[in-house]
Homo-oligomer: A and B are copies of this chain.
Amino acid sequence: MSSLRAAARLRPVASQWAPKSSLRPYATAAALKPSAPSAEQPFFTNEPSGPTVKTAIPGPESKKAIEELDKVFDTRSLNMLANYQKSFGNYIADPDGNVLLDVYAQIASIPVGYSNPALYAAATSPQMASAIINRPALGNFPSHDWASILKTGILSVAPKGLDQVFTAMAGSDANETAYKAAFMWRRQQERGGAHIEFSEEDIASSMLNQSPGAPQLSILSFKSGFHGRLFGSLSTTRSKPIHKIDIPAFDWPQATFPLLKYPLEDHVQENAKAEADALADVERIITTHHLPPCAVVVEPIQSEGGDNHASPAFFRGLRALTKKHNVLLIVDEVQTGVGATGKFWAHDHWNLETPPDMVTFSKKAQTAGYYFGNPELRPNKPYRQFNTWMGDPARAILFRAIIEEIERLDLVTNTAKVGEYLYNGIEELGKLYPGQVLNLRGKGQGTFIAFDSPRRDEVLRKAKSVGVNVGGSGERAVRLRPMLIFQKHHADILLEALEKILKS
């Protein structure tokens, strides 16, 4: 570990990755708070000082390449073709020489910047090379250093109270394996304990996809929630019809998610009532649904569904309800986890008395899985929770390097501070341009900030022309998902760009 750390500090970015030409500074003076950035040291000296917009996006080179790609790969959801070898820090480059400040960051999944030198060192280490070319079937033949990789990486940032992990490949299967653990746990309770054998009826009916072997149980999720797009996870996803239409689904229930009104301080009672009503809905479903839920899955902030927040009190209430009715609480931190909300895990904001039963992760971790603590969540026999690869040690090694980089640069603190600065800046813009910045949310949640726009799709499109890559969520939210290395001087560039768009 310590030698890897040292390597990460010392190793320069490979010279072939350095920018070919010096990038034209686009905007270094802050539009709104010109005095702020001057004192700040950039984390990375090789990062461009600002965006460069040379052509419309896509430009001619990109267009040619997209046409070529379309012959073999569906490009209709393509947002922008990228050249990652020319992308550094917060900046994404394209084949036409455009360089944009990226506050979408691969749908919130790049944690510490493009071409990060410390990650480069980890990616070119002999341990990584072996992990890439000698990929194990982890459940059968783990490597001698797997325990160490887990302990110094994934488990070193485990949420409080959870000291075990089941590793997976991405958010969808992380959630689905957590659901499987929940179903096994509930049926074990119904049988009377881990020592009770499966009945003949369980065994026979499971092979026919019939109950009781394939039980009539459910996972409860929330309206507008997003938990993935495979068959089990999609049955809990309630974000948009385009995600769900034509795909068979389990008849699992959904509860109301409180839709808070903004600004929060002007709607205290209304919002408290919305949260109480949502909790009542949860309790009603748990106690009456024809497929009893064995777990509730919830995002700390509904992300794909439109950046919908709820208060810590709501989540404490949800934890109390699930405890009361012996239902598991699965917190889906796929998008919120790993620092972006100003705490390492978003549910750290809630001050729960007892931890969630399982916490799933992916995206910024660059690996995936679910954390748990209760030994009863380890299935009672081997091979019940199993697959060939069960994750990817190469990606686990990368997450360890990401964690080290977060610690080295104190990036969770950075994100909390910069988030506050950015939030205040957008609030100011909202005052300057009435009606353009609606329902601003994410106060005190790091850079996990969003607002609604009456012309959202236009805002996202125009952002590229002023040097910024930004995404949306839900029907009308502008969703900001900067990396953890987003600093005040980046916030100033973003604010200036937003102002240009709002003005136009």
Contacts and interface: CB of A to CB of B under 8 A. Distances in A.
A471 to B, nearest CB: 8
Nearest to A164: B72
Given A176-B231, A381-B242, A144 B215 contact: no
Contact of A170 (B184, B210, B232, B389): B389
A269 B128 CA distance: 54
Interface string A227-241: 011111101001001
Contacts of A370: none
Contacts of A366: 135
Contact of A134 (B114, B362, B382): B114
A6 B150 CA distance: 36
Nearest to A125: B124
A178 to B, nearest CB: 12
Contact of A146 (B73, B135, B165): B73
A68 B238 CA distance: 41
A371 B347 CA distance: 40
B381 A363 contact: no
A74 B166 contact: yes
A465 interface: no
Interface residues of A, number: 128
27 contacts: A16-B126, A65-B147, A74-B379, A77-B382, A79-B140, A79-B141, A82-B143, A109-B135, A109-B389, A120-B133, A122-B133, A124-B124, A169-B173, A180-B229, A183-B248, A187-B246, A188-B246, A198-B245, A214-B244, A214-B248, A215-B246, A216-B248, A217-B248, A230-B230, A242-B381, A248-B250, A394-B394
Interface of A: 14, 16-17, 62, 65, 68-69, 71-85, 87, 92, 94-95, 106-107, 109-110, 114-116, 119-120, 122-124, 126-137, 139-144, 146-147, 150-151, 155, 163-166, 169-173, 176, 179-180, 183-184, 187-188, 198, 202-203, 206-210, 213-218, 228-233, 235, 238, 241-252, 254, 362-363, 366, 378-379, 381-389, 394, 398
The 6 A-B pairs of least Cβ separation, nearest first, read A231-B232, A76-B382, A84-B134, A209-B249, A214-B249, A69-B147
